[in-house]
A and B are shown apart, each in its own frame.
Chain A
Amino acid sequence: MAYNILIVDDSNSMRKVIRKVLQISGFKVGEIFEASNGEEALKVLNSKWVDIILSDIHMPVMDGYQFLSELRRREEFKDIPVVLITTEGDENKLQKAMSMGAQGYIRKPFEPDQIREYLKGIMGEPVYAMGGIDEGSDF
């Protein structure tokens, strides 16, 4: 199956960087959606099917903690894995986010390999398909 991914980050350029890392990693990525805060992310979730959420913590309007608690409150979203990609350097706060249901975290600045390695655990070994849409590989 191809995974639909939602990237939540208030930095437009950071979203673009994460999107590119996903694309060149060869994961079976279906659609990639973007949102600039938790509130926008919930809007996307209401209208699109999302398999994995990659979210920042520090964002205006609705931050990562509020977003996580909102997700866990909603029956239809509570099982979507959330991986935090964040500048948060406070170990206690990261643990708090984990206890709120985040599956894991990647600290910024990150090496692209860190994202790739982490996502292998969720999405399996990359397959080199065009656009990642079909089951098999194009090559």
Chain B
Amino acid sequence: MRWAELMKEAISNTLEKMFYTLVEFDGSDEESNWKDKKRVVSHIKLTGQDSMLVITVDLLEAVAFQIAADFMGVVVEKVKQEDMEDCLKELANMIGGYCVSSSKGKYSLGLPQIGYPSETMIGSFCWTIPLFILGEKCGEVTICSKD
């Protein structure tokens, strides 16, 4: 479970430092609602010598717009779709950078992309970390490792 702890640290550090957003990792279990709402996804690949990690960030669209606004210091009404996607990629990027640093350079960072990773990249070992804001589920980060 080392990765899960590391990811939590990476997520909350990044969100707090640059996006002025506090998330919790536990909260209400009623997720059905969450799945039905509009969401946005970004991912980043970390390639190692003989393995690969993929980090996927899946957020409620409304939350993604809000963190983009907080990141850029603008009112949320002013955030364009492309800004929001750009911020979501940066979020994945910074979480990825954290993992590279913690793995002591075992992996190298790719470029973040919008959307889910393609099927073949999904590895056999995945951990999903749910994210909550004020007790309500707002998204999740999944890390998959593949040999």
Contacts and interface: CB of A to CB of B under 8 A. Distances in A.
Interface of A: 10-14, 16-17, 20, 58-60, 86-93, 107-111
Nearest to A111: B17
Contacts of A58: 93, 109-111
A128 B71 CA distance: 25
A50 B90 CA distance: 26
A1 B118 CA distance: 51
A90 B108 contact: yes
A88 B14 contact: no
Q: Is the interface of A mostly helix, strand, loop or mixed?
A: loop
A88 B100 contact: yes
Nearest to A59: B111
A89 B72 contact: no
Interface residues of B, number: 29
A89 B93 CA distance: 11
26 contacts: A12-B83, A13-B68, A13-B83, A13-B90, A14-B86, A17-B72, A58-B93, A59-B111, A87-B93, A87-B96, A87-B109, A88-B100, A89-B100, A89-B101, A89-B102, A90-B109, A91-B101, A91-B105, A92-B105, A93-B105, A107-B97, A107-B101, A108-B18, A108-B90, A109-B13, A109-B18
Contacts of A111: 17
Contact of A89 (B82, B83, B90, B99): B99
B87 interface: yes
B89 interface: yes
